[in-house]
Structure 1
Amino acid sequence: MAPPSGPVRAPEEAGNAAGARIRAARKEAGLTQQGLAAAVQVSRQTVIAMETGDYAPSVYLAIKVAKALQSSVEVLWDPEP
């Protein structure tokens, strides 16, 4: 059985908290949504979706985002910070 295709929605509370941490880290790094998108080679819409909790990135993309924001995956996406 194949996994469902299309974007993956993060759990509501975890997605909102992670999105807020991603947004805060992005602003602290002095990056725009477009700047972060370019740094990790995704669209600006993907960054927006991560920040609103509408998209849970792959492990590979989460690592790229964390590195671009000089943070760690655990800090950005831990459901219990």
Structure 2
Amino acid sequence: MTKVRNEHIIKAVGENIRLLRLSKGLSQEEIAYAADIPINQIGRIERGEINATVSTLYVISKALDVPLTSLVSVEEQS
């Protein structure tokens, strides 16, 4: 089985998280603390360097006080 990794989606989710975080005036450190995940992981997710698990995205959505769907809403690439 081949690895399934869609760089476009990974980067778009990271950008969604970054934009939501900034719109709420929160730092990466504040989100990391609220989500109980390492601060460097937030940065790596926002930069699209890692493929976050659904569990990680869920705790980030709770820390941002937004629905999980708002993190993963991505325009399809043509």
Task: Tell me if TM exceeds 0.5.
Answer: yes
Aligned length: 72
From 34, 44, 57, the equivalent of 1:39 is: 34
Q: Which of residues 1, 15, 22 is equivalent to 1:20?
A: 15
| Offset from partner CA, 1:16-36 (integer Å, 9 cap, x none) | 211111001011122101111
1:69 — aligned with what? Answer: 64
Q: CA deviation at 1:40?
A: 0.7
- TM-score, normalisation: structure 2: 0.79
SS at match of 2:9: helix
Conserved 8 A contact 2:61-2:67: yes
Partner of 1:3: none
Gaps of 5+ in 1: 1-9
- What's the Cα RMSD here? 1.7
Distance 1:49 1:69 in 2: 17
Tell me the percent identity: 26
The amino acid that maps onto 1:53 is: G
Give the aligned partner of residue 55 of structure 1: 50
Unaligned runs of 5+ in 2: none
The DSSP-based 3-state class of the residue aligned with 1:54 is coil
